[in-house]
Amino acid sequence: MKNFSQRWMPAALGLLMSVHGGTVMAAADFPEPAVDQKLATSPGKATAVLAGGCFWCTEAVFEIMEGVDDVISGYAGGTKETAKYDIVSTGRTGHAESILITYDPSKVSYGQLLKIFFSVAHDPTTLNRQGADVGPQYRSEIFFTDPEQKKIAEAYIAQLNAAKVFKSPIVTKVEPLDKFYTAESYHQNYAVQNRQNPYIVNVSDPKVEKLKKMFPGCVRKRK
């Protein structure tokens, strides 16, 4: 397992050397999902579970997104017995560092969440790694909870690949969610609570800024 001081430096260097396969993406490069849900006619709650590398980073991106009510860091893909950070970090549990997003489907669609997932939150073309964070626990995966989510996810991946938005094919897995296990309390809202951590400054913060610059209309307005 990497401790926190070991974790930030190689990952930060990896991010600087490879942003979406060496390509600096622009908002115009990302089409709207051709297959998506219609916005609900009244407020409600829906969930999405996504894995895209370190959950500190993916959590930080989606926490500021308009229509998102809550983001929880945790583990998906393995068992309850091994859903512990020090064990998951070995890469031998089947878990992926994941986030559980609770959102209002009258404000944001599942497809819009996936658009941010692919364009801002992580690189979906690197197998079992993000930057220098290496191992299956850092894999790109969408854990769907119903057939509609599966259909939207698979269709959008096919759409992005057909449009050659990335230089390399998307390797994101699309699998049914069995269970989501909430991570230890110190991982929750980590980027906000640990502003001076070099990993946050060098890896997480640039992704948050990327969302603000690429899709300012998707950022929640401050009250």
* pLDDT tens, position by position, 16-44: 333 444 444 566 668 999 999 999 999 99
Q: In this structure, is residue 105 part of a structural domain?
A: yes
Q: In this structure, is residue 54 part of a structural domain?
A: yes
How many domains does the structure of the chain reveal?
Answer: 1
Q: Phi and psi of 98, rounded to 5°?
A: -135, 165
Q: How many CB atoms lie within 10 A of CB 138?
A: 25
Q: In this structure, is residue 8 part of a structural domain?
A: yes
Q: In this structure, is residue 199 part of a structural domain?
A: yes
Amino acid symbol at 209: E
Q: In this structure, is residue 223 part of a structural domain?
A: no
**Tally of CA atoms within 13 A in the half-sphere of 49 that contains its CB:** 24
Give the alpha-carbon dihedral of 210, 213, 217, 220, to 10 degrees.
60
Range of the domain at 188: 4-218
Sites in the chain below the pLDDT cut of 70: 1-29, 223
pTM of the full predicted structure?
0.90
Q: In this structure, is residue 171 part of a structural domain?
A: yes
Q: In this structure, is residue 108 part of a structural domain?
A: yes
Q: In this structure, is the dihedral angle defined by the CA atoms of residues 197, 199, 201 and 205, taken in order, positive or negative?
A: negative
Q: In this structure, is residue 195 part of a structural domain?
A: yes
For position 166, what pLDDT does the model report?
94
Catalytic residues: 54
For position 132, what pLDDT does the model report?
84
Q: Which of 51, 43, 47, 57 is nearest to 74 (CA)?
A: 51
For residue 122, what is the domain's CATH number?
3.30.1060.10
**Tally of CA atoms within 13 A in the half-sphere of 4 that contains its CB:** 12
